[in-house]
Amino acid sequence: MKTRAAVAFAANKPLEIVELDLDGPREGEVLIEVKATGICHTDAYTLSGADPEGLFPAVLGHEGAGVVVDCGPGVSSLRKGDHVIPLYTPECRECEYCLSRKTNLCQKIRTTQGRGLMPDGSSRFRFEGKPVLHYMGTSTFSNYIVVPEIAVAKIRPDAPFDKVCYIGCGVTTGIGAVIWTAKVEAGARAVVFGLGGIGLNVIQGLRLVGAEQIVGVDVNPSKKDLATKFGMTHFVNPKEVEGDLVAHLVELTKGGADYSFDCTGNVNVMRQALECCHKGWGQSIIIGVAPAGAEIATRPFQLVTGRVWKGSAFGGARGRTDVPRIVDWYMDGKINIDDLITHTMPLERINEGFDLMHEGKSIRSVVIY
Ligand code: NAD
Ligand code: AHE
Ligand code: ZN
Ligand code: ZN
Domain boundary pick from 313, 329, 359: 313
* Nearest ligand (C-alpha, residue 174): 1
Atom number in ligand 2 closest to CA 289: 6
Domain identity same for 246 and 104: no
Whether 236 and 249 share a structural domain: yes
Compute the distance from residue 300 Cα to the ligand 3 centre, in Å: 30
Question: Does ligand 1 have an atom closer than 6 angstroms to the CB of 316?
Answer: no
- Check whether residue 57 and residue 156 sit in a common domain: yes
Is the separation of the CB atoms in 2 and 124 below 8 Å?
no
In angstroms, the Cα distances linking 37 to 74, 266, 291, 366 are 28, 25, 24, 6
pLDDT for 340: 98
* Atom number in ligand 2 closest to CA 88: 14
- Per-residue pLDDT at 256: 98
Q: Is the CB of 365 under 6 A from ligand 1?
A: no
The stretches in the chain having pLDDT less than 50 are: none
Shared domain for 238 and 155, answered yes or no, is no
Residue 319 located in a structural domain: no
What's residue 25's pLDDT? 98
Instruction: Identify the pLDDT of residue 139.
Output: 98
Question: Which CATH number fits the domain that encloses residue 192?
Answer: 3.40.50.720
How far is ligand 4, taken at its centre, from the CA of residue 152, in Å? 13
Same domain? For 151 and 177 the reply is no
For the CA of 151, the nearest ligand: 4
CATH of the domain at 128: 3.90.180.10
Q: Are residues 51 and 146 in the same domain?
A: yes
Residue 329 covered by a domain? no
Could you tell me if 46 and 68 lie in one domain? yes
Give the structural domain span for 63.
Answer: 2-168+337-368
Question: For residues 19 and 2, is the Cβ–Cβ distance under 8 A?
Answer: yes
- Residue 126 a catalytic site member: no
Tell me, yes or no, whether 101 lies in a domain: yes
3-state SS class at 142? strand
Evaluate whether ipTM surpasses 0.95. Answer: yes
pLDDT in tens, 26-52: 999 999 999 999 999 999 999 999 999
Ligand 2 pocket: which of 88, 103, 198 to mutate (most atoms within 8 A of CB): 88
pLDDT of residue 225: 97
Q: Residue 326 falls within a domain, yes or no?
A: no
323 within some domain: no
144 and 190, same domain (yes or no): no
51 in any annotated domain? yes
219 and 89 co-located in one domain: no
Claim to verify: residue 107 and residue 16 sit in the same structural domain = yes
Domains identified in the chain, total number: 2
Check whether residue 154 and residue 198 sit in a common domain: no
Same domain, yes or no: 220 and 134: no
pTM of the model: 0.98
The strand pair at 130-132 and 189-193 is best described as: unpaired
